[in-house]
Amino acid sequence: MDFIIEPSKKIPVYAAADICVVGGSATGVFAAVRAARLGAKVILIEKTNALGGVAGNGLVNVWHSLSDTSGRRQIIAGLSAEVMERLESVDRDKNGSFFFNPNEMKTELDALLAEHNIECCLHTCYAGLTRDGSGIGHIFIENKDGRSAVKADFYIDATGDGDLARDLGIESYQNENIQPPSACFLLQGSAAGIDITGIIDRYSDDPALKNDWGWSCRVPGLDNITMRADTHIFGLMCSRARELTEAEIRGRRHAREIVRLLRKYGHEGENYRIAALCSHIGIRETLHYRTRFQADELSLLLGKRYEDAVLNGTYSVDIHHADRGITFRHFDGTYNTVNADGTRTGGNWREEMGIGADLPVPTYYQVPFSLLVNESVPNFIAAGRMINADTGAFGALRVMINLNQLGEAAGVGAYTALQHNIPIQAVDGAEVAETLRAGGSANRG
């Protein structure tokens, strides 16, 4: 690679705030809102035209249940519950999952920021940072006004990939399985009862789509439209610029091919069309950044409890294999795998590992605040899918109902550090958990 030296120049300071959140999915928005409710002045930077991340521009419109696996005890509340109350078009299934319209999600998150006087900068990309001792001094942003800087006392990285964590040189790693991305789209025309996977395998000339599997779901309030996530894009790392571009283009090609096949082999008389393409490919996993605590699958599935728990969750370990196939592992020990060749295997991990056969089956898991605490940068937290988690724990924690809670914890943690004028490493996780509870999060027993 060639290099040039960028000439130094004077640039304006665009804004100053107590806390700057970079990334506007619900993770980032919830971090911003929780901090603002405690009294912080907050600014949020988002590179696209809309809030919501994968739930907005990515079109993924399912948040999982607020209850434990018994369905009788609410273990998640806070802003996830508030937002589900506010949305106009929401359906729930028998497991308590919420289905929403991603366009409504975008406008509701806009409203939430406005109500809390949080400055929202759309079409604004984070582009680097300056150091102030061991902390962050300024960040650079780029938007229609050109290049400028934002000054804050604390920074929250909710970029998914961990762009600030990367520039800070925090140690990163890749899990042995990196879950592949999918480009979702909205399909006009009913595909009910149609085996799209089978049609692709039989009739498509594009090998990239074959031997895969996917899912789809309704979009509340829209007639004859479904959200499709039928395929994956394999072998690309979406935290690399060129591979991200290729993934986007391949994803659109998949959508076009599926609709072409449906028009030929779908229900007669249906007017199959792409109603909307995702405006950002759905990225499941890229890099992870080290913090004081690494979430591990066994502790989650055995329901380990923490005094400073900032997340309660029930979503099972769900690993989309990097080379096709999927594995689920559950609290009760059962697991199922759909292999790349379509064959199925399963069993009981508790029995096979000789672990936990005598222990009660938990109804939810927890994660402590230290998951968010890095070792070296005093005014920084990263929250989102870049979390420090092994392959299995990431498979469970990666869903939005979980990351939403980590966003809320990041906002409260940042505020607590500023309030006490201490580095994030000195913040008492139990105090953060108590502030979260007082602010509407569920009890963490």
Ligand X SMILES: Cc1cc2nc3c(=O)[nH]c(=O)nc-3n(C[C@H](O)[C@H](O)[C@H](O)COP(=O)(O)OP(=O)(O)OC[C@H]3O[C@@H](n4cnc5c(N)ncnc54)[C@H](O)[C@@H]3O)c2cc1C
Conformation bin of residue 274: beta by default, left when phi > 0, alpha when psi is -120 to 50: beta
Stretch that binds ligand X, among 1-9, 11-19, 81-89, 397-405 (CB under 6 A): 397-405
Cβ–Cβ < 8 Å for 78, 405: yes
Does the protein bind ligand X through residue 395 (CB under 6 A)?
no
Does the protein bind ligand X through residue 54 (CB under 6 A)?
yes
CA distance linking residue 313 with residue 366, whole number of Å: 6
CA distance linking residue 227 with residue 216, whole number of Å: 5
Q: 332-352 in b/e burial notation, b at 16+ Cβ within 10 A?
A: ebebebbeeeeeeeeeebbee
**Is the four-CA dihedral 10, 14, 18, 24 of positive or negative sign?**
negative
Q: How many residues belong to the site for ligand X (CB under 6 A)?
A: 35
Q: Euclidean distance between the first and final Cα of the chain, in Å?
A: 53
Stretch that binds ligand X, among 32-40, 53-61, 85-93, 410-418 (CB under 6 A): 53-61
CA distance linking residue 31 with residue 142, whole number of Å: 22
CA distance linking residue 356 with residue 343, whole number of Å: 28
Question: 191 or 229, CB closer to ligand X?
Answer: 229
Stretch that binds ligand X, among 3-11, 39-47, 185-193, 324-332 (CB under 6 A): 39-47
Looking at residues 202 to 261 of the shown chain, list those that interact with ligand X (rule: CB under 6 A): 229
CA distance linking residue 301 with residue 371, whole number of Å: 17
The only residue of 160, 313, 356, 413 in contact with ligand X, by rule CB under 6 A: 160
Does the protein bind ligand X through residue 125 (CB under 6 A)?
yes
Question: 312 or 333, CB closer to ligand X?
Answer: 312
SS3 label, residue 262: helix
The pair of three-digit structure tokens given for residue 138, joined into one six-digit string: 């300024």
Question: 320 or 444, CB closer to ligand X?
Answer: 320
3-state DSSP: the chain helix, strand, coil percent, rounded to 5?
Answer: 30, 25, 45
Does the protein bind ligand X through residue 159 (CB under 6 A)?
yes
Does the protein bind ligand X through residue 148 (CB under 6 A)?
no
The only residue of 14, 20, 24, 415 in contact with ligand X, by rule CB under 6 A: 24
CA distance linking residue 346 with residue 267, whole number of Å: 34
DSSP 8-class letter at 374: -
Does the protein bind ligand X through residue 90 (CB under 6 A)?
no
Stretch that binds ligand X, among 205-213, 279-287, 295-303, 338-346 (CB under 6 A): 279-287
CB of 257 to ligand X, least distance (A): 17
Looking at residues 285 to 304 of the shown chain, list those that interact with ligand X (rule: CB under 6 A): none
The only residue of 19, 42, 62, 300 in contact with ligand X, by rule CB under 6 A: 62
CB of 56 to ligand X, least distance (A): 7
The only residue of 34, 47, 329, 444 in contact with ligand X, by rule CB under 6 A: 47
CB of 105 to ligand X, least distance (A): 11
SS3 label, residue 191: coil
The CA R_g of the chain, rounded to the nearest whole Å, is 22
Q: Lay out the site mask for ligand X across 321-360 (x = CB under 6 A, - = otherwise).
A: ----------------------------------------
Question: 23 or 325, CB closer to ligand X?
Answer: 23
Cβ–Cβ < 8 Å for 387, 165: no
Cβ–Cβ < 8 Å for 25, 56: yes
Does the protein bind ligand X through residue 184 (CB under 6 A)?
yes
* Residues engaged in binding ligand X (CB under 6 A): 22-25, 27, 45-48, 53-54, 60, 62-64, 125-126, 158-160, 163, 181-182, 184, 229, 282-284, 384-385, 398-401, 403
